[in-house]
Amino acid sequence: MSKKTTKNNYCPIFFNVADKLCLVIGGGSVAEQKVRMLLKFNTKVKVISPLFTKNLSNLQKKGKIEIVPREYRKGDIDNAILVFAATNNKEINKVIKTDALSLHIPVNVVDDPVLCDFIVPSIVKKESIIVAISTSGTLPMLSKRLRKDIGTILSKDYIRYAKKIGEFRKILIEKIHDKGKRRRILSEISKMDTSDIVRMDMDTIKNKFAPDIR
């Protein structure tokens, strides 16, 4: 027998949105927040709203987003992979939800969790390191507090570590075809202090953990 499903049973997934169209319907401060979040991930952003903030207008002038200065129309979402309904009109938001549902496009309806297919977590992004935090919509203020705490913990050493070992992992994949051996090497690296790894150059890392690599 399958387990009973409940609302707010969110699955954390990192979704590649680079160069893909995401639609934000609404032009106020909340819509602006969604736009700024999406731009961090190199998304193609289109905003549909008869009115929009000065900051959104400036982003359009810089060529970072597209603005369609009118009300939402059926068909606007056809080519989007994600939709954010951020208008101040609940009826329009419901229409957007219905249209998105018919096209199997995930939609986030601001301030209406019941209509949301997904929610946006609090995000800590430092180069390749991304941490997403959520309380499943129950306590956003705690998510913000955790984001601040985690942002403090993620020092520059972690960023350098991720970059250096990420590069080394690519070398391992290219040079060592035995997956088990690669895992053992990376496991040994994970046991060392981050600061010790950061101080090593790439040749030292190779000689210490994979001396057979040339």
Give residue 141's pLDDT.
86
- State how far the Cα of 152 lies from the Cα of 146, in Å rounded to an integer: 10
Report the Cα–Cα distance between both ends of the chain, in Å, rounded. 54
Task: Return d(Cα 42, Cα 17) in angstroms, integer.
Answer: 7
**Residue-averaged pLDDT of the chain:** 91
Query: Considering the domain 21-120 in this protein, what is its CATH number?
Result: 3.40.50.720
- Of all helices (H) and strands (E), which one includes residue 191? none
Specify which residues 92 forms β-bridges with: none
Q: pLDDT value at position 64?
A: 97
Least confident window among 6-10, 71-75, 102-106, 108-112: 6-10
Q: How high is the pLDDT of residue 140?
A: 79
Taking a C-beta distance cutoff of 8 angstroms, is the pair 10, 134 a contact? yes
CA-wise closest residue to 17 among 64, 65, 81, 77: 81
How many Cα atoms within 13 Å fall on the side-chain side of residue 204?
Answer: 8
pLDDT tens-digit map of 89-106: 999 999 999 999 999 999
Print burial letters for 21-52: b (CB count within 10 Å at least 16), e (below 16): bbbbbbbbebbbebbebbeebebbbbbbbeeb
pLDDT digits (tens, 9 = 90+) for 140-190: 789 889 988 888 888 888 889 999 999 999 999 999 999 999 999 999 999
**Neighbour-count burial for 170-190, b at 16+ CB within 10 Å, e otherwise:** eebeeeeeeeeebeebeeebe
pLDDT at 11: 86
- In this structure, what token pair is assigned to residue 214? 């040339």
The string of DSSP letters for 155-176 reads -HHHHHHHHHHHHHHHHHHHH-
Q: Residue 7 has what DSSP assignment?
A: T
d(CA 44, CA 168): 32
Residue 1: which pLDDT band, with cuts at 50, 70 and 90?
Answer: very low
Query: For residue 44, what are the contacts with CB-CB under 8 A and spacing of at least 6?
Result: 19, 20, 21, 22, 66
Distance CA 67, CA 55 (A): 12
